[in-house]
Structure formats: C-alpha cells, structure tokens
Structure 1
Amino acid sequence: MPANPAVEHTHVPARGSLRSRGAATVSGLTLRQISAVLPPERAWGLWASRQIIARIMDAFGPSLAGTRVDPVDVTLPDGRRVKGEWVYGNGVEGSTDRAVYFLHGSGFALCSPRTHRRLTAWLSRLTGLPVFVVDYRLAPRHRFPAASIDVRAGWDYLQGECGLAPENMVIAGDSAGGHLAVDLLLQHDVAHPAGLALFSPLIDLTFGLSRSREELRRDPAIRAADAAKLIGLYCGDHDLADPRLTLDVAGGRVMPPTLIQAGGGEMLVTDARRLAADVTAAGGDCDLEVWPDQVHVFQALPRLAPDAVPAMRRVAGFIADAWRVTGERAAG
C-alpha cells in the first residue's frame, strides 16, 4: 500500500443534478453518434469536429463578461517560440507574482486557448489570478513530441521572461492537457509548481482502461475506438511505449500536491483513478473527486452541468491551499 493513499472524496453529491443527467443522455443520442461518423484522418472530418467542440464550449461555457485577454507570441533566447494568451477574469489585475499555467485538452488535435477561454476566464476570476494558456501546436500537422516541446517552452517562458518562481505557480489542465502536464512534471530538470489540478486527465493513450470502462458504462460523448483514432493523429507510427507517451508516474518523481476531478459518466474516470493511485504510489499527495453522472470536462459547461459550479469552487480552494502550504513550508 502507498504511504499516502489517494483520497476519493465523498463530499461530492451522491448523484448528478437532473440537468446534468439529462445532458448526458442527450449527448449519448447526438454527440456520441456524430463523433462516430466524423473521420478525424480526413481534413473535413477534423474541421467539423473542431467546429462542433468550439460551439459547444461557447454555448454552454461560463460568461466572458469583464474578461481581458493579452496575446503572447515571443521567441525565447534559445530560439523556441511561445504562443499563447494571458487571461484575466473579471476584476483580476494585470500584474501579480503568482499565476496559473493552463494546458488545454483537445486529443492533441482539436482545441485551442480560444475554445477554452471561458473556462480559463472563470478559473482566473475564482482564483483572482491571471491564467497563461499555451497555444501548443496541434496534430496532424504537428506530431509527437511537438505539443510536449511547446508546453515546456511555455513553462520556461513563465520563469525566464515573466520572472515567476515555480513555487508561485500552479499547473492546471484538462484531458490531453493532463497528459502534457504530467509529462512535463516527470522531467527531472523541471522545478515543480505549488500544485497540480487536472480535469478528466487522459493518461492511457492505448485506451485500454477506457475500453474496460466501456464494458460497464458507455461514455456519452465518444467511443474509445474513435478517441484512439484522434490520438493517433498525434502519435502517428511512434511507439506508444515511449516514456513520454506511456508515463511512469508510479516509478517517477514525486508529484506536487494534486487534485484530480473526473466525471462519473465518462470513460476517462478510469484514467483518473489510475493516475491518482500512481501519484500516491510514488509518494505524492492526491485528492481524487469523481462527480457522479458528469460528462468529460463538465467543469467547462456550467450552463449544461450546474455541478460545474461547486466543482470549480473546489479547484479554487485547492489552489489557495497549495500556496498556503507552500508559504508555511518556506516560513518554517
């Protein structure tokens, strides 16, 4: 047994809200069927998938009222390019010595800082902190390890160009962004942030865990086989046994304090549980929250899933606690 077993919190509701359950049912009848017939390997299929996701995020995401966005496109001294945007939620000031580094999901192929802007603006407003979202290159034009390279460049930009100390940052991410975050923090020359907050992280790129989950409950948004095709655009013919793709979390570095949230209705809940177990097996502290009946990255869709509101408050509380603990350690 690990010294610090993962804690799966019981304070989450015993069942998802009626609206959330209804949304999952509708998604299973629509989005799941659409994703099955859109071929990601075809340009038109990928374009259509990107449009559908963008419209869902806009239609059901939180308000952007009062949000300010500052685009970033810089070249680091070593020649690496960093693109992205600083997002300031309503009432958040432009300068601070603390920040959140957000890695968006997309299956490495679909989304962008723009699609996730409502979520990152909400995160900024709840935490009172600016959020930097890196615009990493997408598949299939840019295959592995392009996204990982860009994520590392973004981290180095925050420290070198912005002067932010690692302990004054928290990394957050969803879906494939969770994979990129964990990959970054497993690198031995990367100084760790104060904490790590992940929404529905994708960890098993073979989708073996997801397929086993499908035998018990269907994901309302996508089939494991269809999701695997999307990931294939990024991995290509590369061996998935590569340690940057199949991440050895249990045998790797101790992760910073970690919060993982996943929806009970999605297939990646198995990835969340595996990651939580591996983080604790390596000696880290991890809180796991499985929100019943929720869809993939429900936190981005509060107009569809009202349970996103208490979930995001939990994330903001976790980030505040991470810095409190860091401050106490520095003072002691």
Structure 2
Amino acid sequence: MAAALTSAFVRPIASAIPANRAGIVFSRGFISGSLWLASPPLKGSRVEPGVRGEWVCGPGVTDGDAVILYVHGSGYALCSPRTHRGLTTRVSAGTGLPVFACEYRLAPRHRFPDAADDVRAAYDRLVEQGHERILVAGDSAGGHLAVDLAAQLIREHKAPPAALALFSPLFDVTFSLAAERERMRPDPMISAAAAARLVGLYTVDADLASTRLRFAFDDIKGFPPTLIQAGGLEMLAADAIELARALRRAGADCELDVVPGQMHVFQALTRFVPEARPAMDRACRFLTENLPAIERAA
C-alpha cells in the first residue's frame, strides 16, 4: 500500500521537479517534511552539535570509545543530519553506540569531491579524538560516500572502518543499472532520469571513470565486512546487487539483503512500513557483531 501510494503521488512530483535552484529548494523542504512524518526521531534521544555534523545518542545510550559515523543520502544535494534523525536515533538505539552524523557540503553549490572530502575529514576527526573502533552506516548517496571512504583509507594503508551498513546504496552514478532495472518495473519514488539529473549536479565537472566515482576493487584488499540492504521495488536494487558482487569478487565479506516489496531506504519509513524495524535490527546487529573487542593491556 505504501509503495502504491508513493507511486501515485510522490513519483510524479519527484520526476517533474527541475534540477535548478527553485527545484532544489522545493525538494529539500518536501523531503525534510516527509522524513519527519514517516520516521520521527526516537523520543528520549539526545542530539548535540559537533564539528561539521551532530552527535546523536538514542534513549539510554552513553558516550564510549566506539562510535558510528553516519553518512546521509539524497543525491548529494538535498538532506542533512537533521532530516535523518529518524534513522540516526534508531541506529544509535539499536547498536547502543553514539552516532556522529556528518554534515557534508551539498550540490549544486559544491561539487565532486567536496562531499567525499568532508566525509573523510569527519572520519579523520573521530580518529584524532581517540575513537579506535569506528563503524560506518549510510543511505543512498551516503552509501556511495561510505564505500569511497573505506577504499580511500585502504589505498593509503590506513585503518578502515570496522564494518559498513549501507541502506539502498548508490553504486553507478550514471544510473545505467537503475535505468535497466526500471524498464522491468518503475521505481515507486522517482525515475532514473530524474535521479540522474539530481546526482549530476554533484558530478557535472567530474570524470565519471574516476575510481572515486566508478568503484573498482581490483587493487583493494581487506575491505571491511559490509551489509547491503535494498528494497525489491526500487531501481537501486540493481546497484545493491552489483556492489555486493564487486565486493565479493575482491574477497570482501559482504551480506546482501534485498527485501521484497520495499522501496528506497524503507528503513526510514517506520510509521508506514512494518518491515522497516526488523531490517534496522538486522543492520544494527551486523554492525555490533563486527565491532572489534577492546584490546586490554597485559
């Protein structure tokens, strides 16, 4: 029912919005209101400002040496840590860990690689603050940024996150995979062409063959354990499947969870989608199970 209503009312609006300044302003307000309606922050959560982001602790969660870096999505152009508190408070509550939600610079004012550089800066700050056990979670374009972060660190021979949980991650920034899947079944939320126009505001001057945009893991060894979740109805299910294949070919431990009948980032639709909560539970369990134990001095 949720998918049918979204297809009837949201997709026509999302596909018709122009990728210009007025369209971006409208989209930011529309998505912000929709996310707060569909998945409000958990009551009893604590939110505090941080450097280029915010700290989020779910009910009863206290600070510790382990932390989750959360990277929000929405096409590199639309959302913020504030819009994603429904997700970040639930990630924190489900893992029992504090979450730092990164606030990266948005398109169209800022273009590749600004967002990716901001995510890397956020990770480096967590390390500098003494956090030795870092997990990463992200959705949509945030999933793409999370993969880029881990690959960067490995190529530089630095410690990557302990594990990644990705919700409907973007893999192919050209949207060729999405368009092919869309020919079989339209995405309930948005068309591949409209999504490509939005992401194109970020990648407009970039070489799409760059290893930071078009991922190839041939030179990557030791990629962190990764859980990928996607909805069976969304066009980015194709991206999720192909990303999982690419990581597995590189020898990574990657779990793929495509939930039938679900939409893009359905984990953020807790008021309307019963499958959202168990999927989030699985993701949180995956993260905590891959959190390394504290090393004690002899």
TM range (shorter): over 0.9
5 Å-filtered alignment, 1:211-250, equals 211-250=179-218
Residue from 183, 186, 200 that aligns with 2:148:
183
> Any idea what the Cα deviations from partners look like across 1:192-241, whole Å, max 9, x if unmatched?
12111100000100101001101111100000000000011001132211
Q: Spell out the pairing of 1:1-332 with structure 2 (5 A cutoff).
A: 22-40=1-19, 42-73=20-51, 83-93=52-62, 95-160=63-128, 162-165=129-132, 168-187=133-152, 188-189=155-156, 190-323=158-291, 326-327=292-293
Task: Confirm or deny: 8 A CA contact 2:94 2:285 kept in the other structure.
Answer: no
Alignment length (residue pairs)? 294
Corresponding letter in the other structure for 2:137: A
Moved over 2 A (4+): 249-254, 326-331
Percent of aligned positions with the same letter in both sequences?
A: 51
> Does the Cα contact within 8 Å between 2:41 and 2:85 map onto a contact in 1?
no
Report how far residue 328 of structure 1 moved. 9.6
SS in 2 for 1:33: helix
Secondary structure at the counterpart of residue 327 of structure 1 = coil
Relative to structure 1, is the Cα distance of residues 243 and 250 closer, same or farther in structure 2, using a 3 angstrom cutoff? same
> Normalising by the residue count of structure 2, what TM-score does the alignment of the two structures yield?
0.95
Residues in 2 aligned to 1:238 and 1:307: alpha-carbon distance in whole angstroms = 37
Aligned twin of 1:9: none
Does the CA contact (< 8 Å) of 1:250 and 1:280 recur in 2?
Answer: no
Residue ranges of structure 2 left out of the alignment (5+ in a row): none
1:36 match: secondary structure: helix
Match of 1:10 in 2: none
Q: Which has the higher contact order (CA 8 A, sep 6+)?
A: 1
**Deviation digits for residues 282-324 of structure 1, max 9, x if unmatched?**
011111000011110000111121100110110111112102x
Whether the 8 Å contact between 2:48 and 2:56 is mirrored in structure 1 is yes
**Consecutive unaligned residues in structure 1, runs of 5 or more:** 1-21, 74-82
- So what's the TM-score if we normalise by structure 1? 0.86
